[in-house]
Structure 1
Amino acid sequence: MAAAPRGGRVVGTARLTLPNGKTAELPVYGGVSGPDVVDVRGVYSATGCFCYDPGFKATCSCASAITYIDGPRGVLLHRGYAIEELAADGDFDDVSYLLLFGDLPDRKAKALHSARLVAERRVHERLIHFYSGFLSNAHPMAIMVGVVGALSAFYHDKLDVFDAGDQVAAAYRVIAKLPTLAAMAYKTAVGEPFVYPRDALSHCGNLLHMLFAKPGAEYVVDPLAERALEVWMILHMDHEQNASTSTVRIAGSSEANPYAAIASGITALWGPAHGGANEAVIRMLEEIGSVDQIPAAVARAKDKSDSFRLMGFGHRVYKSYDPRARILKSYCHELLGKLQREDPLMELALELEKVALEDEYFVSRGLYPNTDFYSGIILRALGIPRDMYTVLFAVARTVGWISQWREMISDSTRVIGRPRQLYVGPAPRSFAAVDDRAAVGGRRSKL
């Protein structure tokens, strides 16, 4: 029998009987919370069959102590703490320490943690030269994939992925430098000089300063904007085994440099079905245009023959209201109110949410607003350009990615990720000389 996952306990055994008459005795494990899992690692050796699960909808790929989601109940916990408490009472340094090390820091640990993050904010001057090689119209996410991966070239000789001290050093470097790299990507896109980090500012205050300050002019970070961005960051730090986190883990399972693994996560996050969804929500709201067009948009969303979708509704895991969406919704009201800004998209979003939540089609399918629905509106209120939305998502999610990487690389049961497949291609056939081959598409080429 295979070794139990770290932290898991055997709660029973399942018997799998195949049509070929072969059987497999499969251990069943229980964790602290959530459903039990059936260990299918022995299925192939016992029966000669693989398990088929496209998109890994029913597959547990690892044992993790970082994040727990109860989708039906709309619960999100980080290391046992409810996301609502962390967003209300914690700050960036509290939650980043919690994800990295497992507990909230005491005063001394927090001071050391904060100081170490500040010390790692700057990037090598030679890395800064990379930015001059990108076109000014390059998407900032394309730039981020390149420059984050390039960190591997600057720290490859100072890293043993199995050394605990080196793991922590890499974690501090990547968390601290991502805001700097992100701000430089933005400044490249708008053609403005880079603004270097300021030690006296918080993680999120420093990011806002690097984004919006200009040489020769004083820029004062708005405390409300700083706190709104901080809460936004906390809500986006980690979310269990999503597409990008799984990508970081599978890349890291090959013992790749962690900066390269994080770059792979950024690549996965870029997709409009994942991190790019907050941009897609804003585009959708702009396409709908006005409140009176909502009924037509909802009708289109329910029409299977129409490609139009209500972006920001529904989630692979949550089948009730995403708890992060509730928090972001309240911050949208507070931020827009205190900044005395009106956003017609906010009114449109609120009415669209109201209509959808009263429609049986969406309610019966568990299509409630997710965090992306209000995420973009907050970033709009902060003055963040749309093509930077996913970049900021990457800045926040890097905390979760590197925490997940550390957990994965330290797991004694870790193996390199290697999914199998159901082969549906041609049966074995013999190579034919070019003049003896059948016509492609039923006729000879006339090239």
Structure 2
Amino acid sequence: MSTPSYSLLNNATGEKLDLPAIGGTLGPVGLDVGKVYDKTGVFTYDPGFSSTCSTKSAITYIDGDQGILLYRGYPVAQLAEHCSFLEVAYLILNGELPKGQELQNFDSSIRKHTMINENLNRFFEGFNYDAHPMAMLTGVVGSLSAFYHDTTNNKDPRHREIFAHRMIAKIPTIAAAAYKKYYGQPFMYPQNHLDYCSNLLHMMFAVPAEPYHVNPIAAKALDILFTLHADHEQNASTSTVRMAGSTGTNPYAAIAAGIAALWGPSHGGANEAVLTMLDEIGDVKNVQGFMDKVKDKNSGVRLMGFGHRVYKNFDPRATIIREQCHKVLQALKVDDPKLELAMKLEEIALSDDYFKARKLYPNVDFYSGIIYKALGIPVNMFTPMFAVARTVGWVAHWIEMVSDPAMRIARPRQVYTGAAERTVSPIAQR
């Protein structure tokens, strides 16, 4: 693919440095600045890496201006409508949608890895009774590296596949166990006759005292949510997995690092913040006053669930999830006043020039929390649900990275702003 050429002028010497352009299938080109320091003695400076490509990837494409999200070339809306989450997981891992037998084999492999070691179950006893489920998830996933060190040869494709299937299969079991620990209920073992999302709901909500039947509407809603959250290019948690994985660390440890990054309220914790915001507003009659405070920069009030670091248009996932939100609440006969609040917030944001000028459109977090709440999932489990879905993307990016013969350890640089070199004085003279 032909790409334009660029050059950097060194003002000190008058020399030009050619910057090779790295072209992709879609989107803008990237400039290879890897030799800038060697040739000019200066660093490139990009806080937050908002204009920096850290890698080449064939997994996910985002056009934030147009509101486009593609997994392996397929629009996420089409995948959410026509495919199950496990089909999407296969696609993200392997590059193509599965055929019938391929999906059956993949599904079978995931099901046989759903149980976790009994000793791992006992790890939960060490957590305090009120430990946040994300704290448990981070710790327990990290501890998988102590159980599975025999098949983590990063250069062996079969070992990478076993790791991928294990991680995707076990993360719902671990998340459900964290839920049970928090609420003081006995752990429920996976039921491998159930599909992926039904199994998760069963492990969370079933108890030994009575039978539990998974509502297929709830399982379908969760399946769609997982599809929408499966991957999102080089976001903070995925970049964390890649950075940790670039050291050659045990892959389970790299996933644990991604879970820790996801926990942040600016990342995976945003849907928790939306529900907290709706609770604070309390009633529809308070919405306009709340939005006025949002527009007052001195008020300190923030509008959660609107706008996105990448999307400068409507988040394509939000359109799907908004429709699903209505379906779930209607089908489950949930009368949730928070939906009315959410609708009013959206109405004002989409009609008010202040929000339109800043392109503060609803994002995927805005409605997902309402759906989770309708399914009976408590607020502190919202981010673990996100982690279950995003594990697919993390694993795929880790595999893509370690499969690349040109992989290098991640090592960002900095502009040093501390004290210049100085001499240590004896303590009596300081």
For the aligned pair, the TM-score class normalised by the smaller chain equals: over 0.9
Partner of 1:20: 12
Contact 1:16 1:26 in 2 (8 A): yes
Partner of 2:39: 46
Give the one of 210, 213, 230 matched to 2:203: 210
Q: Deviations over 1:31-50 (max 9, x none)?
A: 11001111111111110110
3-state SS of paired residue (2:3): strand
Quote the Cα distance in structure 2 between the aligned partners of 1:362 and 1:168.
Answer: 45
3-state SS of paired residue (1:217): coil
Tell which deviates more after alignment, 287-296 or 184-193.
287-296
Partner of 2:192: 199
Quote the Cα distance in structure 2 between the aligned partners of 1:178 and 1:256.
Answer: 19
Give the one of 116, 119, 130 matched to 2:123: 130
Alignment of 1:8-407 (within 5 A): 9=1, 11-21=3-13, 22-407=15-400
Tell which deviates more after alignment, 147-156 or 16-25.
16-25
Tell which deviates more after alignment, 283-292 or 9-18.
9-18
Q: CA deviation at 1:436?
A: 0.9
Q: CA deviation at 1:138?
A: 0.3
3-state SS of paired residue (1:77): strand
- The residue identity in structure 2 corresponding to 1:423 is Y
Q: Deviations over 1:322-354 (max 9, x none)?
A: 011111110111110011111000000011001
3-state SS of paired residue (1:157): coil
3-state SS of paired residue (2:149): helix
- The residue identity in structure 1 corresponding to 2:242 is R
Quote the Cα distance in structure 1 between the aligned partners of 2:161 and 2:323.
Answer: 35
Q: Deviations over 1:180-233 (max 9, x none)?
A: 000000000000000000010000000000000000210000010000000011
Q: Deviations over 1:2-59 (max 9, x none)?
A: xxxxxxx451321111332343110112111001111111111110110000000100
Contact 1:23 1:46 in 2 (8 A): no
Q: Deviations over 1:379-425 (max 9, x none)?
A: 00000010000001000000000001000111122111000000010
Partner of 1:4: none
Contact 2:265 2:273 in 1 (8 A): yes
- The residue identity in structure 1 corresponding to 2:174 is L
3-state SS of paired residue (1:41): coil
Quote the Cα distance in structure 1 between the aligned partners of 2:371 and 2:10.
Answer: 52
Tell me if 1:415 matches 2:415: no
Quote the Cα distance in structure 1 between the aligned partners of 2:241 and 2:299.
Answer: 34
Contact 1:122 1:177 in 2 (8 A): yes
Contact 2:151 2:163 in 1 (8 A): no
Tell which deviates more after alignment, 390-399 or 362-371.
362-371
Where in structure 2 are there 5+ consecutive unaligned residues? none
Quote the Cα distance in structure 1 between the aligned partners of 2:362 and 2:10.
Answer: 41
Quote the Cα distance in structure 2 between the aligned partners of 1:192 and 1:10.
Answer: 60
- The residue identity in structure 1 corresponding to 2:12 is N
- The residue identity in structure 2 corresponding to 1:327 is I
Q: Identity percentage over the alignment?
A: 52
Q: Deviations over 1:126-172 (max 9, x none)?
A: 11110011111000000001000000000112220111000010000
Quote the Cα distance in structure 2 between the aligned partners of 1:78 and 1:315.
Answer: 19
Contact 2:179 2:204 in 1 (8 A): yes
Contact 2:36 2:43 in 1 (8 A): yes
Contact 2:152 2:251 in 1 (8 A): no
Quote the Cα distance in structure 2 between the aligned partners of 1:413 and 1:294.
Answer: 53
3-state SS of paired residue (2:20): strand
Contact 2:145 2:250 in 1 (8 A): yes
3-state SS of paired residue (2:22): strand
Runs in 1 of length 4+ with deviation above 3 angstroms?
none
- The residue identity in structure 2 corresponding to 1:16 is L
3-state SS of paired residue (2:69): strand
Contact 1:12 1:29 in 2 (8 A): no
Contact 1:380 1:386 in 2 (8 A): yes
- The residue identity in structure 1 corresponding to 2:10 is L
Q: CA deviation at 1:294?
A: 1.4
- The residue identity in structure 1 corresponding to 2:111 is V
